[in-house]
Chains A and B, each alone.
Chain A
């Protein structure tokens, strides 16, 4: 295998920007939900139009409070990690998982009821695109260039050189 070409600084900047913006979005969603105690995913889950048995179970009375808490916690963790540039690989994977859950509960598949959406979608919607954006973030880590991990990385180099 040939050595991959190093990224140009413009390419790196674009990747950092992508990571920051997705993180920003996750973080804000998480914070809003955290401070809105009446918020619940129950309606979203119970009205699922695909893989209903899974989503109805997640939305059931015995599960919903755990599901709501986990959802808010994951949103905030993913958001903070991507913004700060710390454990971004783990955050990307978790974020992709969350987005796919949102996607499959109400997928824009032909013949599936669309409910309340703000645009027109066929098979692909913004949840899916954001999940793929996170795949890019996962595959092209940038936190050594921009993020908290730069601190530890430098520290390692310093330590090794001594």
Chain B
């Protein structure tokens, strides 16, 4: 000790100062950092506590154990192939193409993801496609000793074969309801692509058939129901986070030929390889036409344009969060402005769906707020991403893979917190990224920048979550374990009626009204709404 003292005996006050002055700086900087993080954490916790939104992904569907479900497929086109992969069946051609693609681009993990997909314990026992090339292509890959698979020339033969418990329908729109109804009447479970039906009358007939056969499970192919953030969105609405939502905007923006349904025409397509009459079905007679066969979405006779094809997804997504049902009024306009190629369905379309009696809740005096409009705005000539926004008096919710809520500067319920500077309306008050550790409030601009680029996305159990896979799995779980699919006959009924009202309003040029009490789309005297909906002669280019 005494030597130590001696050691520093030459030290002046100045020496000590120069040696140790860094310590208080270190202490101050450290304390400042601790204080800042503590404060912002407290603010965040306060806000999250106040909002009290429960962030949860949808519950997983039930077990896939038991006897394999025997599935038949009707329609092995573009969507049919995608659905088969979700079911666990990929063609040799696709596997080879993906293997090649992943060799060229290591970031392409589509093949890896497919192989890692859970086995749904199904047998693909039957295929029906009226184009020989597609049917044979399916058989070549799927008819194996392990999975004997047969081709049927007619969907009725497939449904009544006794070899299928369930069918997946990926035929053109005008075939959805007739096929689904035949299957349901035969006690065969159905997964039908959207829109559920092609006409108003079919919608009632199919609903009646399902009601008469409660043992069969019918699911409509709105895989967006599996979006991880939707339960969280529902809870935010239930907690009145947004206040009264007066306007919801959704949209479609595409700008390529494929997105405009200008699909390739197969070189081997001819009257020998295609059963043309089976394609036409109840559609008006038309001589063999390859373009109509491969690009059927472009004509009202077989497809239903933007309202049936894409509005239905957006409508159903909002219906799934708000459960607002069928709009009282639908007004639509648009035209063929970007693909004047002989089609008769519009490629630019705006649809206003009015719900005058609906309310998500209110933060103001009772009776002041009521009613909501859902706007669907679409173009097939531009792909600027506009996002889906639910606009309430108190806050706006951006609904995507990531759910983000911004307080409104003029909000009633957040008025005090905004005045105190504790809420900045330009910074999200809530953000739910199902892939991240959970919930965040008041995220920084950079964090949002990275999140929006999808970079913080992680996969559940290391696997990419494919919503179509989850949707089919849910349907199979209902078949095996009971329960109702998230998009069943009632949701499908609402989706189909809304889509048909939009199509009608576009074609007639009038506001279309729904009589909720009598469950009727109101027609003027002498007006046959289904005939108008199906009318294939109207050419809006004139």
Residues in A lying within 8 Å of B, measured CB to CB: 20, 24, 27-28, 30-32, 34-36, 38, 42-44, 46-47, 61, 79-80, 83-86, 115-116, 145-148, 150-151, 154-155, 157-159
Contact = CB atoms under 8 A, between A and B. Distances in A.
B384 interface: no
Contact of A32 (B36, B445, B453): B36
Given A47-B455, A83-B25, A116-B446, A158 B8 contact: yes
B19 A151 contact: yes
A28 B455 contact: no
B17 to A, nearest CB: 9
Contact of A35 (B34, B446, B456, B458): B34
B450 A44 contact: yes
30 contacts: A20-B25, A27-B29, A28-B33, A31-B29, A31-B33, A36-B37, A36-B41, A42-B455, A43-B447, A43-B451, A43-B456, A46-B450, A46-B455, A46-B456, A47-B453, A84-B23, A85-B19, A146-B21, A146-B22, A147-B18, A147-B19, A147-B22, A151-B20, A154-B8, A155-B8, A157-B10, A158-B7, A158-B8, A158-B9, A158-B10
Given A148-B22, A151-B20, A158-B9, 16 more contacts: A27-B29, A27-B33, A32-B36, A35-B41, A43-B447, A43-B450, A43-B456, A46-B456, A47-B453, A83-B22, A83-B26, A83-B29, A116-B445, A116-B446, A146-B21, A147-B19
A80 B27 CA distance: 10
Contacts of B34: 31, 35
A90 to B, nearest CB: 16
Given A150-B19, A154-B15, A155-B8, A27 B26 contact: yes
A158 B5 CA distance: 11
Contacts of A20: 22, 25
Task: Describe A's contact surface by its main secondary structure.
Answer: helix
Contacts of B6: 158
Contacts of B450: 43-44, 46-47
Contact of A116 (B15, B30, B449): B449
Most chain A beta-carbon contacts within 10 A, residue among B10, B18, B455, B462: B18
A115 B452 CA distance: 12
B404 to A, nearest CB: 16
Contacts of A30: 33
Contacts of A157: 10
Nearest to B22: A84
Contacts of A151: 19-20
B309 interface: no
A24 B458 CA distance: 35
Nearest to A29: B33
B19 A35 contact: no
Nearest to B26: A83
B7 A155 contact: yes
Nearest to B447: A43
A144 B25 CA distance: 18
Nearest to B36: A32
Nearest to B23: A84
A151 B437 CA distance: 47
Given A44-B450, A84-B26, A115-B449, A28 B19 contact: no
Nearest to A81: B22
B7 A159 contact: yes
Contacts of A148: 19-20, 22
A42 B25 CA distance: 31
B285 interface: no
A146 B18 contact: yes
A120 to B, nearest CB: 17
Nearest to B10: A158
A44 to B, nearest CB: 7
B32 interface: yes
A146 B17 CA distance: 8
A47 B455 CA distance: 7
Contacts of B20: 148, 151
A20 B23 CA distance: 11
Nearest to B439: A38
A145 B110 CA distance: 61
Interface in B88-113: none
B38 interface: yes
Interface string B440-469: 100001110111010110100010000000
The 8 closest A-B CB pairs, nearest first, are: A43-B450, A31-B33, A35-B37, A84-B22, A150-B19, A46-B455, A83-B22, A151-B19
B29 A28 contact: yes
Contacts of A27: 26, 29-30, 33
Nearest to B453: A47
Contacts of B7: 155, 158-159
B500 to A, nearest CB: 44
A43 B36 CA distance: 23
Contact of B10 (A28, A61, A84, A154): A154
A46 B19 CA distance: 42
Contacts of A145: 18
A32 B33 CA distance: 5
A43 B455 contact: yes
B22 A154 contact: no
A103 to B, nearest CB: 17
A36 B30 CA distance: 14
A28 B440 CA distance: 23
A155 B23 CA distance: 19
A24 B21 CA distance: 13
Nearest to A26: B29
Contacts of B462: 61
A75 to B, nearest CB: 11
Interface string B318-329: 000000000000
Most chain A beta-carbon contacts within 10 A, residue among B23, B33, B437, B450: B33
